[in-house]
Amino acid sequence: MTTKVSKGSLFPYVIWIALFVIAPILLVGYFSLLDLNGNFTLANYVNFFKPAYLTMTLTSFWYAFLITLFTLIVAYPTAYFLTKTKHKHLWLMFIIIPSWINLLLKTYAFIGIFGLYGPINAIAEVFGIEPTQILFTDFSFIFVAVYIFIPFMIIPIFNALDKLNPTLVYAARDLGASRFTTFRRVVFPLTIEGVKSGIQVTFIPALSLFMITRLIAGNQVITLGTAIEQQFLVAQNWGMGSTIAVFLIIFMVIIMLLTGQKRKRGRV
Amino acid sequence: MNKLTSGAKVYLAIVFLILYAPIFYLIFYSFNSGGTMNNFESFTWEHYQAVFEDSRLLVILINTVIIALLSGLIATIIGTLGAIGIVSIRNKKMRNTLLSFNNVLIVSPDVVIGASFLILFTMIGVKLGFTSVLVSHIAFSIPIVVLMVLPKLLEMNTNLIDAAQDLGASKRDVLTRVILPYIKPGIFAGFFMAITYSLDDFAVTFFVTGNGFSTLSVEIYSMARAGITLTVNAISGIVFIATVLIVIGYYFVTNRSKVGNTGVQE
Tens digit of pLDDT per residue, chain B (266 long)?
A: 456 888 899 999 999 999 999 999 999 999 998 878 878 888 999 999 999 999 999 999 999 999 999 999 999 999 999 999 998 888 889 999 999 899 889 889 999 999 999 999 999 999 999 999 999 999 999 999 999 999 999 988 888 888 988 998 888 888 888 889 999 989 999 999 999 899 989 999 999 998 889 999 999 999 988 888 899 999 999 988 988 888 888 778 777 655 544 444 33
Among B9, B111, B220, the residue with its CB nearest the CB of A105 is: B220
Distance from CA of B122 to the nearest CA of A (A): 11
Per-residue pLDDT at B2 = 56
Per-residue pLDDT at B172 = 84
Per-residue pLDDT at A6 = 57
Per-residue pLDDT at B145 = 95
DSSP class of A130: P
A12-45 burial string, b = 16+ CB within 10 Å, else e? bbeebbeebbebbbebbeebbbbeeeeeeeebbe
Per-residue pLDDT at B3 = 67
Answer yes or no: are the C-beta atoms of B48 and B30 closer than 8 Å: yes
Q: Write the single-letter amino acid at A235.
A: A
Which of the listed CATH numbers 3.40.50.300, 3.40.50.620, 1.10.260.30, 1.10.3720.10 matches domain A51-267? Answer: 1.10.3720.10
Distance from CA of A115 to the nearest CA of B (A): 9
Among A5, A21, A101, the residue with its CB nearest the CB of B105 is: A21
Half-sphere exposure of B136 (CA within 13 A, CB side): 32
C-alpha distances out from residue B66 to A28, A44, B76, B133, B149, Å = 30, 40, 15, 11, 23
Task: State whether B108 and A252 contact (CB < 8 Å).
Answer: yes
Residues on chain B touching A207 (C-beta within 8 angstroms): 109
Task: State whether B247 and A211 contact (CB < 8 Å).
Answer: no
Distance from CA of A51 to the nearest CA of B (A): 23
CA-nearest of A83, A140, A132 to A110 is A140
Answer yes or no: are the C-beta atoms of B12 and A81 closer than 8 Å: yes
* Nearest residue in chain B measured CA to CA from A206: B109
* Below-50 pLDDT ranges, chain A: 1-4, 262-268
Per-residue pLDDT at A155 = 93
Ramachandran sector of residue B36 (left: φ over 0; alpha: ψ -120 to 50; beta: rest): beta
Task: State whether A85 and B161 contact (CB < 8 Å).
Answer: no
Per-residue pLDDT at A166 = 87
Helix%, strand%, coil% for chain B, nearest 5: 80, 0, 20
Per-residue pLDDT at A110 = 92
Per-residue pLDDT at A2 = 46
Angstrom distance (rounded) from CA B58 to CA B197: 21
Angstrom distance (rounded) from CA A52 to CA A60: 12
Could you tell me the end-to-end alpha-carbon distance of chain A, in angstroms, rounded to an integer?
A: 24
Residues on chain A touching B207 (C-beta within 8 angstroms): 229, 232-233
Task: State whether B171 and A4 contact (CB < 8 Å).
Answer: yes
* C-alpha torsion sign, points B150, A16, B211, B130: negative
Domain layout of chain A by residue ranges: 51-267
Distance from CA of B200 to the nearest CA of A (A): 5
Question: Which domains occur in chain B, in start order?
Answer: 8-265 (1.10.3720.10)
Q: Is B246 exposed, middle or buried (0-12, 13-18, 19+ CB in 10 A)?
A: middle
Backbone angles phi and psi of A40, in degrees to 5: -65, 140
Maximum C-alpha span of chain A:
77
